[in-house]
Amino acid sequence: MNIEIKEQNGSFIGILSGWIDTAVATQFLEDMKPLMDHADKSIELNCAQLEYICSLGLRGLLQLNKESAAKGGTLILTHVEGEIQKILTMTGFIKLFDIR
Amino acid sequence: MESIVFLGFNLYAWITIATVLSMFTVLLFTKLRADLVFLSAMGILFVTGVLNAKEAFSGFSSTSVVIIGVLFVVVAGLTHTGVLQWIVKHLLGQPKSYSKAVVRLMLPVAALSSFLSNTTVVALFVGIVKMWSKKLNISPSKLLIPLSYASGMGGVCTLIGTPPNLIISGLYADNTGTAMNVLATTIPGLFCLFVGVLSIIAMRKLLPDRKAPEAAFESTSDYTVELLVPSDNKHIGETIEEAGLTNVNGGSLIEIVHYDDITSPVPADELIMGGDRLVFAGQIDEILDLKKSHGFVNADHHVFTMSEVSGDRQLRTAYVTFGSSLINTKIGNSSFEQDNNMVLVAVARRGNRIDQPPHEVVLQAGDTLLFECPPNVNIHTERLTSQLQFFDSAQVPNIGKKTFISTTIMILMVVLSALNIIPLLQCAFIAAMAMLIFRCCNVDQAMKAINWEILMVFAGSVVLGIAIQKTGIAERLAFGILDVCGTNPIVVMTAICFVGTFITEFISNTAAGAMFFPIMYQAAEKLGYEPYPFLIALMVSVSSSFATPIGSPTHMLVYGPGGYRFSDFMRIGLLMNLIILAANIFIINIIYPLTPLQ
C-alpha cells in the first residue's frame, strides 16, 4: 500500500496504489492525515493503481469525503476500475463519492 | 318396535338414549377419533331403523354444516394474511395494571373469535400472551384462562362465531322456515362478555399464580436475526447511531459483518455499508420491523436493490427433530436453503441465547428455527419431517395489502348477511371464493384449513338432534322439565340453560347445542311461547363451558402453557358458569321479551 500526495495550484492529488487491507488500514488512515488537514481544498484521489481496499480503508475515504463537504472543499475519485469499482458498487459507496 | 314402551319411551327412543350415552362414554374414556364415534352413532341409528336414510345423512347436507365448512376457507384467508398479528401488535400495548391487561386482552380476542374459529384465535394468542405476560410481569396463568374464556364468550356474539350457534340457528330455520339474523346473538353476547370481563377482574384471586414449566424455552429473547443491507440502502455511509440502530425496539445489534471483517460488539460510530450483515438478538417480530423501517432484507444472498426481494413472504417455524441430519451442521455450509426454497432468519435454543449469526450456528436437536419462504409457495413439510418438525399454528404471516383485503371480505360478508341482502350461505361461498381470487390464501391452504373431522362431528350432532326429536325424547324431557319447573317460562328457560351449561362441560358445545335444541324448542312450544328467545339463551349457555379444561378445545390449548391443574378451572369456572347464566337470562328477557305463540 502506498499513498503519494502532491500539491498542484492549491489543490491536492493523492495517488493510491497497492492493497489496502485490514493489516495496513491503520497506516493508511495515518497517511491520509495531510489530506484531512486540507479538506477545505480540492482533492483528487487517483485509484488507477489501487488493487483492493478493506472496509476500514473505505471508512477513511468516507471520513475525508464528509470532512471536505463540511469544510467547503471537494473530493473526487478518479480511475475507479476493476476490483475497487466492484467494492464501491457492492457497498453502495459509489453513490456517496464524486467519481470521474 | 314403536309399540314396545318402557318408562314412557319406545324402543327407538331407548336405542337413541343408549347410542348417545355410549358415544359420550367412548369419547370421554377412550382416544378414538371423534368423527369415527359420531359416524358410528349415525350408522347405528340408521341400521336399527331409528332414522331413515334421508334423516341419517341429512347432517351432510345441512346448511349450517356446509356454512361451517365454507367458513374454514374464509378463516384461512384471514389467518394467512396476518389479521391476527396486526390486531395483536396494535391492541395489546403495555397496560399498567392487571385489570387493564385483562380488558386489553379479552376484548380483541372476543372480537376476533366472533368471526374466526375460537381455536385458531387462542392457538395464535397463546405464545403471544406468554411473551406479553413476561413484559407486564404478570404470571401467564393469570392471563391464559381469561384468554380462553374471552374466545368462548366472543364466539357467541355472532351466529358464525361458534358452531353451536350455526347448528341451533340452522335447526330453527328448518323448523320455522325463518332464518335468524347473523347478529341475533350480538347484544346478549356482548353483555355476557362485559359481565365476564368484570367477573374475571373481580375474581382474579381465584386464578392461580403459576410459572409455566417451559417458560425459558418460549422466550423469544433467545432468537438472533440476521439482516442484510442492500447496496442501495438509504442508511449506507451513516453510523449505527445515525441510523438509529443503537436502540432497537425489542432487541440489540450484537454483530456487524462487513465484506471483509466482523465487528462485535458494535460501536455506535461503526459505518453501515451495502452488503453488511447485521446480527440482532431479541424479539423477532419487532426486529423484523427493521425490514420495513430501514429497508433491510433477509441475509440469504447479496442483493443490490430492495426490488429484488418480495416484501410479502411467509415465515415458518420448525424444531430440529431428534435424529435430524441437520444436527451438528451449519445451515450456511449446506444447500438446505436452496434445495427447500427457504431462508433461515433466526435460531433459538432452549435456555441458551445464541449470540451467533443464524447461518453459523451449529444446530442441535430441539433448536427452534425461523424460516422465511416465498409467498404462495407450499413448503413440503411432510418431506422434511425427518429433519424438521414444522408448527402450523406458529405461522407468522407478513402484514400487508392482503391483510386489508381479507378483513374487507370478512366485514362485507357479515354486513351483507346481517342486512339480509344475501343469505349467509351464499355470502360465505362468495367470501371464500374472494379469499382465493385475491390470493389471501392459496387452494392448498384452503383445502388444508377445512377440518373434515370437525365437520363430521357437526354432521353427527345434527343427526343426533334429529333422532332425539323424532323418537319423542325431546318432548318427554321437555314435559319432565315442565313438571319440575312449573309453567313459568323464565324458570324453564333457566333450568334448561343450567343443565346445558353443565352438560357442555363434558361434551362438545356443538353436540350439546344439537341435543338441547329440540328439548328447548319443545319446552317453549308446550308453554305456548315463541321459541326464539329460548334458543338464543341456549346458544349462550352451551358455549359457556368454563369449569373444566375438557369443556372446550381452547381450554386444552392453554392448559399446558399456563401450567394449570384441573381444579384451577373449577375454582373460577363454576362461579363463571353461574354468573354468565344469570347475565344470559337477564339480558335475553330484556332484548327478546317472551311473546306468546300466535
Q: Of B273, B278, B303, B305, which to mutate for an interface test with A (greatest number of A Cβ within 10 Å)? A: B273
The nearest CA of chain B is from the CA of A76 a distance in Å of: 17
Please determine, for residue B380, whether its predicted confidence score (pLDDT) is greater than 70.
no
Between CA B84 and CA B119 the distance in angstroms is: 13
Q: How far is CA B36 from CA B39, B72, B294, in A?
A: 5, 21, 53
Task: Report which residue type is found at B567.
Answer: S
* Mean pLDDT of the region B352-356: 62
Q: Let me know if residue B166 belongs to a domain.
A: no
Tens digit of each residue's pLDDT (9 = 90 or more) over B188-212: 999 999 999 999 999 999 998 875 4
Burial class (CB in 10 A: 0-12, 13-18, 19+), B382: exposed
- The DSSP-derived string for A45-84 is EEEEEEEEE-HHHHHHHHHHHHHHHHHT-EEEEE---HHH
Between CA B99 and CA B164 the distance in angstroms is: 30
Q: Let me know if residue B435 belongs to a domain.
A: no
* Mean pLDDT of the region B46-56: 89
Q: Mean pLDDT across chain B, nearest whole number?
A: 80
Q: Let me know if residue B445 belongs to a domain.
A: no
Other beta carbons less than 10 A from residue B136's beta carbon: 21
Of the given ranges (A43-52, B255-264, B380-389, B561-570), which has the lowest mean pLDDT? B380-389
Between CA B334 and CA B367 the distance in angstroms is: 17
Tens digit of each residue's pLDDT (9 = 90 or more) over B266-320: 888 899 999 888 888 766 667 777 888 888 887 664 444 434 344 445 566 676 7
Per-residue confidence at B3, pLDDT binned at 50, 70, 90?
low
* Mean pLDDT of the region B138-167: 90
Q: Let me know if residue B354 belongs to a domain.
A: yes
Q: Which residues pair with A12 in a beta bridge?
A: A7, A43
Task: Report which residue type is found at B433.
Answer: M
Tens digit of each residue's pLDDT (9 = 90 or more) over B215-241: 433 444 345 677 889 888 999 999 999
Instruction: Give the domain range for residue B350.
Output: 217-397
Give the pLDDT score at B58.
Answer: 82
On chain B, the residues whose CB falls within 8 A of the CB of A22 are 260-261
Between CA B492 and CA B538 the distance in angstroms is: 12
Tens digit of each residue's pLDDT (9 = 90 or more) over B539-558: 999 998 898 877 777 887 77
Give the pLDDT score at B88.
Answer: 66
Between CA B281 and CA B252 the distance in angstroms is: 6
The nearest CA of chain B is from the CA of A51 a distance in Å of: 15
* Mean pLDDT of the region A14-23: 89
Considering only residues B515 and B169, tell me which one the structure prediction assigns the higher pLDDT: B169
Of all residues in chain A, the percent with pLDDT exceeding 90 is 56
On chain B, the residues whose CB falls within 8 A of the CB of A93 are 236-237, 273-274
Give the pLDDT score at B224.
Answer: 66
- Strand pairing report for A42-53 and A74-78: parallel
Instruction: Give the domain range for residue A40.
Output: 2-99
Give the pLDDT score at B304.
Answer: 43
Of the given ranges (A20-34, B233-247, B358-372, B413-427), which has the lowest mean pLDDT? B358-372
Per-residue confidence at B353, pLDDT binned at 50, 70, 90?
low
* 8 Å CB contact between B273 and B236: yes
| CB < 8 Å & 24+ apart, contacts of B284-289 | B284/B220, B284/B223, B284/B225, B284/B345, B284/B346, B284/B370, B285/B85, B285/B89, B285/B220, B285/B250, B285/B396, B286/B248, B286/B249, B286/B250, B286/B251, B287/B225, B287/B227, B287/B248, B287/B249, B287/B250, B287/B251, B288/B225, B288/B345, B289/B249
Give the pLDDT score at B457.
Answer: 78
Please determine, for residue B395, whether its predicted confidence score (pLDDT) is greater than 50.
no
Q: Let me know if residue B572 belongs to a domain.
A: no
- This model of the complex carries an ipTM of 0.92
Q: Mean pLDDT across chain A, nearest whole number?
A: 90
Please determine, for residue A47, whether its predicted confidence score (pLDDT) is greater than 70.
yes
Report chain A's C-alpha Rg in angstroms.
12
The number of distinct structural domains making up chain A is 1
Which residues in B have their CB inside 8 Å of a CB on A?
Answer: 229-233, 236-237, 258-261, 271, 273-275, 302, 304
Please identify among residues 4-43 of chain A the ones whose CB lies closer than 8 Å to any CB of chain B.
Answer: 21-22
Give the pLDDT score at B220.
Answer: 40
Tens digit of each residue's pLDDT (9 = 90 or more) over B61-95: 777 778 878 888 888 888 778 776 677 667 777 78
- Check whether the bond before B265 is cis (ω within 30° of 0): yes
Identify the CATH number of the domain in which residue A88 sits. 3.30.750.24
Please determine, for residue B214, whether its predicted confidence score (pLDDT) is greater than 50.
no
Give the pLDDT score at B191.
Answer: 96
The pTM score is 0.57
Look at A93 and B274 and tell me if their CB atoms are within 8 Å: yes
Identify the CATH number of the domain in which residue B329 sits. 3.30.70.1450
Between CA B251 and CA B282 the distance in angstroms is: 4
A78 in reach of chain B (CB within 8 A): no
The number of distinct structural domains making up chain B is 1
- The DSSP-derived string for B319-341 is EEPTT-TTTT-BGGGSSHHHHHT
**B75-93: b or e for each residue (b if 16 or more CB lie within 10 Å)?**
bbbbbbbbbbbbbbeeebe
